Structures are given as structure tokens and as C-alpha cells.
Structure 1
Amino acid sequence: MTYEELLPSTCRSLTHRIATAQAEGRAPSVVAAVVREGELVWNGARASVAGQAADENVQYRIGSLTKMFTAVLVMRLRDEGVLDLTDPLEKHLPGTGVGESTIAELLSHTAGLAAESPGVWWERSAGSLRPELRDVLGAQPLKHPPGRRYHYSNPGYTLLGSLVEALRGEPWEDVLRREVLEPLGLRRTSGHPQAPHADGWAVHPWADVLLPEPSEDLGLMAPAGQLWSTTVDLARFAVFLTQGDDRVLSADSVCEMRTPAAPAGAGDWERTYGLGVELIVRDGRVLAGHSGSLPGFIAALLTSEKDGLAAVALANCTSGVPMIALAADLVRIVAEAEPRIPEPWQPLPDVDRSALELTGPWYWGTGAYVLRLAKDGWIELGPLLGAGRGSRFRPNGDGTWTGLDGYYAGERLEAVRREDGSVSHLDLASFVFTREPYEAEAPVPGGVDPEGWRGLA
């Protein structure tokens, strides 16, 4: 589906939203961008500091958005077979003292590590104060048993950056530039500021006055928050996070990054974490991306796969503008003003007749399910009415399918055939699905009463 530019009324609403954020948040500047169906469709900026222009080409520090880039490097190593996400860190980076934690746990902030590095405030001090991993981790790096709970950890991403360096034999930033930034065309994303760039400011909480914030090289902590970027570059990265790019990571791998991997905290069931990606439910839609902050800068990048939209928002102040809310509102404004137009229905170019034979109603006990044929030879099985256990399945090439999501993710579905080749039933994770409720001739566990269905006298 080809879209024209955003409607003038939509653009005005977007401009009004960032203008309100800049004024109410008392930010020296706010810049933002919106992507629709893989294309940059809107840029906006509001600034108040004389002599400092704000536009889509000005660099801002993006803080923890950096973690998504580090996670991409780790996922590349996984896809190459260099490591497995279930590997303990000790296997590849020995001697850290937290080596029992797995790589997946580090990516999803479930490794039990402390939230911050011990000692002086690391975001406002030179990385040279923490020259070794033991300086980053401290004497007691674990706050929780590994794998038990979500606990956001900046030192965890220091470990992942060190893991990348150990396995690639090069500095983290060099690997990032070669393997991610250059292939994706992110020419204005870097570890250190490149002109033109915004200055970082603190705004007094009770007076309209400013204080310059320091800009430190974070050293070993760089993989957790070092990067500088622009709205244009981050818009390109947002497209990658939704579509993938085989030069960097496949669509399946970035989808895996966007899949919940950590439990939501108590009282916060609308926010969780994938593999390097935050997942937020807001305004009824699932948003994937990240927020970020370092002294002088705050940032957010959010994508909505369902709407085909993404938004980026950057500001050069230490606090004041709720960036997640701002980016989410930019997505919402476009989604509500200009809803996504569905692609035209198209018949399948080819059909697997053995799969076509399975379509239609099935029964698990008395529960009515329906199996549909989807694109690419996939099938979908779910309740006929209402919510319940449902999944998509990918063919294995041998007459069986593997669940991709939902309750049956990873489970095997097989169409069991009679001697004459006709389908007897579906076998799915030990469950028997039949064409009729409790079909007498099917191998229903526990058997079926020979007198069959009856009324109650």
C-alpha cells in the first residue's frame, strides 16, 4: 500500500504535541520524527536556546537506546552460531564472578545484577574511573538470584559489550560501526558527538534557568548508554527493528528481540522487556523500543508493528519531558487520524492440498476450534469464538508443523492419518483434536462412552 504524505491536520497535531512537550517540560529543545510503513513521513523541532538550531540532522545523546544496538550485536553472534543465548556468560567471558547468568538473562535484565555501578555516579564521571569489569560490578554484583525476576541493570550491558569485544577481538564501537551502523546507513550515529550536536542542559526545577551538564566518555559502560544520534538515523533504525535487514539481522531475529523475555513487575503488567527491547502497552497497542537518559539528554524510540508506525523523540534536558508518553502520543495521533489501510485481499498463489484438507472446524473435547490456511504454507489454529489457546504454525516439511506463538509456541502439530490416507485427528502437544466433539472412532484419551450423546431424563 502506497501512502501519500501525512495530512496537514495530522502534521499540525504532531507539531502541537511536541510544542506542548517542549513548553510544559521546559526543554531547551525537542526534536521528533514519525515513520509510516518504513518511510520517514514527518520531522518536527522546537527550540528556545539562541544559536542552537534543532533539526533532524542534529545529534543528541540517546542514553539507553544504545542497549538495543548492543543487543543486535549479541543476536548476530547467536545467529552465526558463535554462542547460544542459554550459554552461561562464563563460557565466553570467564572470571567476571557472575558467570552463571546466561546471555539471555543479561539481555532481558533477569540476571539479578545491580541496577547501577558502585562508586560515584557513573553517568556524570569519566569511564577511566572504572577501568576493569570488577570496578563496574563491585564486590557484590548480584542483588537477586539469576533468572528469578526482572531488574534493570546497566552493568549487565557492560558485560554484553565486553562479551562482543572478547568474541570479535575488536572494540565494541568498531564492531558496531562495521556490523550495524554502516550497513543500515546510520552515518550520524557515533560514540562521541559530531557537529552539529546539541549541548546537554539541566533545567532548574523551580526557576527557568539552565546549568550545563558534563559529557563523559563512559568507558566500559559505553554499551549501556554511550551513543549519539539523530532523528533521521533513529527513524532508519526503527524500520530495521520492525522489518529486519538480512545484512544485519533477519526479520525473525528482530521479532525475537521484540518478544517478551522477562516477567512484568508486580503492579506493572503493561510493561516488560524482550531481548534488548522494552515492551509497553499504551492506548491499547503494543509498543516496542526503548527509552534513554543521560545527564543533559532524554530520548525515546517506539514502534507499533500493528499500525506500521514508529516515533522518535529526543530532548536536551536531564528531566522534565516524559519521553515515552511523547513518543507514544506521536504514534497514537497518526494511528487515529490516518488509520492503516489494509492491503487488498489476494488469493494464495499456490496451495498445499494436504494442508487445505485440514482447514475448518476441529474439537478439543467440546471446545470448538477452527484451522485456517495462511500465507507461506503456515496454518492458524484457534478458538472458533472468544479468546483462548491459539497459535500460528510453520510447516516442517514432513507433514508436521511447529507452533510459533501463543500457547503452542514450540509445540508440534501432526495430522494423524488412517491406513486409507484420510485424516483421523490432529495431535498437538498430547491433545487430540477431532472433527466431531469426542468422536467415537478417534483415539480420545479415556475413551468415549459407547452409548454416545444423550439427554438427561
Structure 2
Amino acid sequence: MTTSFEALLPGTERALLHRVAVAQAEGRAPSLVGAVVRDGTMVWNGARSCVDGHAPDAETQFRIGSITKVFTAVLVMRLRDEGLLRLDDPLERHLKGTRVGEVTIGQLLGHSGGLAAETPGQWWERSSAGLRPELADVLGEHPFLQAPGRRHHYSNPGYTLLGSLVEELRERSWEESLRHEVLEPLGMDRTTVESVAPHAGGWAVHPWADVMLPEPSEHLGLMAPAGQLWSTAADLARFAAFLSVGDERVLDADSVAEMRAPASAPGEGDWEGGYGLGLQLLRRDGRTLVGHTGSLPGFVACLWVDVEDDLAGIVLSNTTSGLPVGAVAADLVRIVADAEPRFPEPWRPLPEAEVDKELLSLTGPWYWGTYAYVLRLGPGRGVLLEPLRGTGRRARFRELPEGGWVGLNGYYEGERLRVVRRADGSVSHLDLGSFVFTREPYDPGDAVPGGVDEAGWRGL
């Protein structure tokens, strides 16, 4: 039985509330709400406000800005899974006349399409969408800053294109597709395109004085798929659970895992982070976080998920700037992970149906040259190949219907591992992308590329 605790310890809850209180005070935020998700359930939420007795709760809406992009990416991945498009398809194949049609859908998802970060003209987040009625107004005269596919460069117009792609293939609005395909199945009824009370008001706080100014709240029009949504801590907790394990009603676990994998080379100097397919990636405090930050005038937001520990941190605030929501959300995850470390699953033997004596005979030490590796059985007739000691290339492999295995991660991702047999049916060696693994290091009887010196091993 899995060891699980719904409630956090009082000391952990106090540490979380203290972090939220410090963030609100030092960030001079009108209000701030934080939440933690563990094992798919929101186990804590807390808030602070500049008005006594009026702190927001987990059902109070805030604008979430670019977290919206993750929802748009999910809609595109659903189209891919239904066979309506491929990630390496050029945009022009499905959305005509954009003038950037050579960019692939995968490049747009991972922000490697070479497009500009912002729209031309007035600041799009703070001006009327009526200034940008067509895609040409979003992209401008010179939409490319660099060649597509070269490196990561964040692009808000790129997600406008993806929203228009969804509308073209679904023959309905981006908003309708989002509601029917994602929000309703996940029970996110407090995530909306327009604000629904109770919701926070957006404020700008003067950088050098303790005074505030209300921010305008514009509908983003064509740019909506890049940053329009309002949501709550409770709804984002449901979304965090989905980003951790998937949901067959929306996207299965494999497709969500694909979104979490790095999709483009990081920008110069940005080696602690990266970008998947609609998801930001961050390495912090020794753990990998996936999710997204968001900001619009008057609001900042962040959702980070630690898949390994099945933890998520959420922070929402109604201030334009000054609050490092990404760091605060990461700290919420760290506080719980450190104070209440996850219990490992109990060790259990493989199911009897997965025990294959022939497969079992392949386990144990193998040698690539003089490098010692070990092959272990994994679940579902998969295998794990890892160095026997020290560092080296480690990878998990999934069994293929035609025989052999395919690498799932690391250096050997996508590479084929197969058993090579002698004429009498006995095992000669393992072949992994042309690398030969033998039972003994450089044994003269083995199929070692280049042969083995006939004199064999010797001393000095």
C-alpha cells in the first residue's frame, strides 16, 4: 500500500505561510495566494493581503498571463495525438497565408521558430486588441529575428499562431476548444477568459513609494492564446495534477511527458532552464521543475511541478512587478520536499506474467570495451542499462513488438538495443546503436570490433 498523507504537518504549514508572508511584504504586493499540491491533491493554501480580513482564498481569480500558453500547447498536442497534424509539419500545411509558414508546429511550441518576442506597435498587453485585428498585425513587417530551429527565443506571437491553428483545424474558437477539451474534463470551472467574481483587481505599485495605481484589463483578442486566462489556486492545483501524470480524457501520460522534455536549445547564458512543448523547465535546489510563469499588467503568477516528488507550488498575486513568483513557487515545493520527504514505493517483485527466463538470463554484467555495465529488468519487460560503478551513460529501454528495445532517455534515447545470437542460438553480444556489449571484456571468442590481440591480457 502506498504511504500517503493528505494533511501537512503543522510545522510545514507554518513554514509555507511564513514564505508567503515574506513574499507579500518584501514584494509589496496588494495580495498574494500560495498553494501546494501533493499526490494530485491540494494539501495547503494560504494568503496575505494589504487589507486586513480580505485575503484571497483558493477560489479567488487572478489573471495568469503566460501560463495560458500551457493550455494552448495541450490543445495542439491533442490535435497531434488525433493524427490531424505532426509536430514537424510546417505551419503553412494547416494555416495558410501567414508569411511565416516554413516554421514548424514543434518549433512554435518550443519557442525556437525564430520569431520576435513581441508584436509591433503599442504594448499589446496594455492596448486594445482592435489595434491587431489580423495575424499580419501581430507579426509585423519583419516577423523573424533569426533562422527557425536555431535556438530558443521566447515568442508571444508564436502562440497566437498556435491558437489560430487550433481554430482552423477545430472550426470553432480557441476559447470553445479550451473549455470543452481541457477545462471541463479537468473540472476547472473557475478558469475563464473573462474575470468572474470573486476576482482580484490588478494593481501597479510605485517602485519608490508605497502607493498604488489600478492597471487596465484588456481583452487580448488574437493574442489570447498567449496570455488571456484568469484562474484560481484551486483550479491550477487540478492542472498541476494533470501535468504530473496526465489524464486520458485530455492527454495521456506519454504525451504529457513529451511536453515536459526539452524541445529546444536554451538561449545564451540560460543553462539552468529550458523549454519543452509549452512548458518552461527549471533546475533548482537539486530538482527539476516544469510549469510556467505568467504576467500581465497588474498580475504575476507561477505554477511549478516536481514530477519526481509529485509536488507542485502555485503563487498568484495582483501586482505588476517586484515579486519573484518563480522563486516563491519553487520555495513552496522545496519546503514540503525537505520537511516531509516522499516515502518510496515498497519494493515488490515483478508480476509473474512479466518474468521471462530467457530475458532473465540477459541480466547482469556486460562490457563495452573495458567499461563495466549492468543490465537490469524493468517493468513491462523493459530493461535498464547503467554503469556498474562511477559515472557513464544510463538509460531505460522499452520493449518493441518486433523484438529488442528502444531507448527512452539520455544518450541512448531513440537508439535500438538488440540481442545478437550465434548460429547455434546462443547469445553472442548486445548491439546498441553499433556499440557491442560482451559478457567479458575483450574476450578473444567474442565479436569485438577490430578484433582482440591474440596474446591476450598481460602484465608489465
Q: Return the TM-score normalized by structure 2.
A: 0.98
What secondary structure, in the 3-state scheme, does the structure 2 residue paired with 1:368 have? strand
CA contact (8 A) 1:157 1:223 kept: yes
What secondary structure, in the 3-state scheme, does the structure 1 residue paired with 2:180 have? helix
The more displaced of 275-284 and 349-358 is: 349-358
Q: Deviations over 1:305-336 (max 9, x none)?
A: 12221011000000111000000000000000
The residue aligned with 1:360 is 364
Matched-pair identity in %:
68
Tell me, yes or no, if structure 1 residue 29 matches structure 2 residue 31. Answer: yes
Distance 1:219 1:418 in 2: 66
The residue aligned with 2:182 is 180
The residue aligned with 1:370 is 374
Distance 2:93 2:443 in 1: 52
Of residues 292, 295, 299 in structure 1, which corresponds to 2:294?
292
CA contact (8 A) 2:219 2:228 kept: yes
Of residues 278, 282, 286 in structure 1, which corresponds to 2:280?
278
What secondary structure, in the 3-state scheme, does the structure 2 residue paired with 1:111 have? coil
Give the letter for the 1:297 counterpart: F
Q: Deviations over 1:235-271 (max 9, x none)?
A: 0000000100011001000000000111122222111
RMSD: 1.0
- Superposition map of 1:8-157 within 5 A: 8-49=10-51, 52-157=54-159
The residue aligned with 1:253 is 255
Distance 1:264 1:338 in 2: 33
What secondary structure, in the 3-state scheme, does the structure 2 residue paired with 1:19 have? helix
Give the letter for the 1:102 counterpart: T
Of residues 411, 423, 426 in structure 2, which corresponds to 1:422?
426
Give the letter for the 2:93 counterpart: K
Distance 1:353 1:162 in 2: 54
What secondary structure, in the 3-state scheme, does the structure 2 residue paired with 1:184 have? coil
C-alpha deviation, 1:219, in angstroms: 0.3
The more displaced of 348-357 and 205-214 is: 348-357
Give the letter for the 1:277 counterpart: L
Distance 1:352 1:290 in 2: 43
The more displaced of 445-454 and 25-34 is: 445-454
CA contact (8 A) 2:152 2:265 kept: yes
C-alpha deviation, 1:412, in angstroms: 0.6
What secondary structure, in the 3-state scheme, does the structure 1 residue paired with 2:20 have? helix
Q: Deviations over 1:96-134 (max 9, x none)?
A: 111111111000000000000000000001212101000
What secondary structure, in the 3-state scheme, does the structure 2 residue paired with 1:152 have? coil
Give runs of ≥4 in structure 1 deviating > 4 Å.
Answer: 50-53
Give the letter for the 1:129 counterpart: L
The residue aligned with 2:447 is 443
C-alpha deviation, 1:355, in angstroms: 2.1
Q: Deviations over 1:212-243 (max 9, x none)?
A: 00000000000000000000000000000010
Distance 1:267 1:217 in 2: 34
C-alpha deviation, 1:356, in angstroms: 1.4
Of residues 264, 267, 271 in structure 1, which corresponds to 2:266?
264
Distance 2:178 2:7 in 1: 33
The residue aligned with 1:221 is 223
- Superposition map of 1:323-362 within 5 A: 323-350=325-352, 351-362=355-366
CA contact (8 A) 1:287 1:304 kept: yes
What secondary structure, in the 3-state scheme, does the structure 1 residue paired with 2:304 have? strand
CA contact (8 A) 1:411 1:428 kept: yes
C-alpha deviation, 1:4, in angstroms: 4.0
Give the letter for the 1:440 counterpart: P
What secondary structure, in the 3-state scheme, does the structure 1 residue paired with 2:185 have? helix
Distance 1:354 1:411 in 2: 22
CA contact (8 A) 1:307 1:335 kept: yes
The more displaced of 299-308 and 439-448 is: 439-448
The residue aligned with 1:201 is 203
Give the letter for the 2:124 counterpart: W
CA contact (8 A) 1:116 1:154 kept: yes
C-alpha deviation, 1:365, in angstroms: 0.6
What secondary structure, in the 3-state scheme, does the structure 2 residue paired with 1:398 have? coil
Distance 1:353 1:417 in 2: 16
CA contact (8 A) 2:38 2:311 kept: yes
The residue aligned with 1:311 is 313
Distance 1:388 1:292 in 2: 38
What secondary structure, in the 3-state scheme, does the structure 2 residue paired with 1:242 have? helix
Give the letter for the 1:108 counterpart: G
CA contact (8 A) 1:89 1:99 kept: yes
Distance 2:338 2:55 in 1: 31
Distance 1:141 1:439 in 2: 60
Distance 1:372 1:437 in 2: 19
Q: Deviations over 1:109-160 (max 9, x none)?
A: 0000000000000000121210100000000000011011110000000000
Q: Return the TM-score normalized by structure 1.
A: 0.98
Q: Deviations over 1:38-88 (max 9, x none)?
A: 111101111114685400001000000000000000000111110000001
CA contact (8 A) 1:277 1:290 kept: yes
Give the letter for the 1:174 counterpart: E
Tell me, yes or no, if structure 1 residue 6 matches structure 2 residue 8. Answer: yes
What secondary structure, in the 3-state scheme, does the structure 1 residue paired with 2:184 have? helix
CA contact (8 A) 2:47 2:55 kept: no
C-alpha deviation, 1:182, in angstroms: 0.3
Give the letter for the 2:380 counterpart: D
CA contact (8 A) 2:48 2:55 kept: no
Give the letter for the 2:256 counterpart: V
Distance 1:308 1:318 in 2: 30
Distance 1:109 1:276 in 2: 8
The residue aligned with 1:405 is 409
Question: Is there any run of 5+ residues in structure 2 with no aligned partner, and where?
Answer: none
What secondary structure, in the 3-state scheme, does the structure 1 residue paired with 2:68 have? helix
Q: Deviations over 1:199-218 (max 9, x none)?
A: 00000111111100000000
Give the letter for the 1:118 counterpart: P
Give the letter for the 1:447 counterpart: G
CA contact (8 A) 1:52 1:198 kept: no
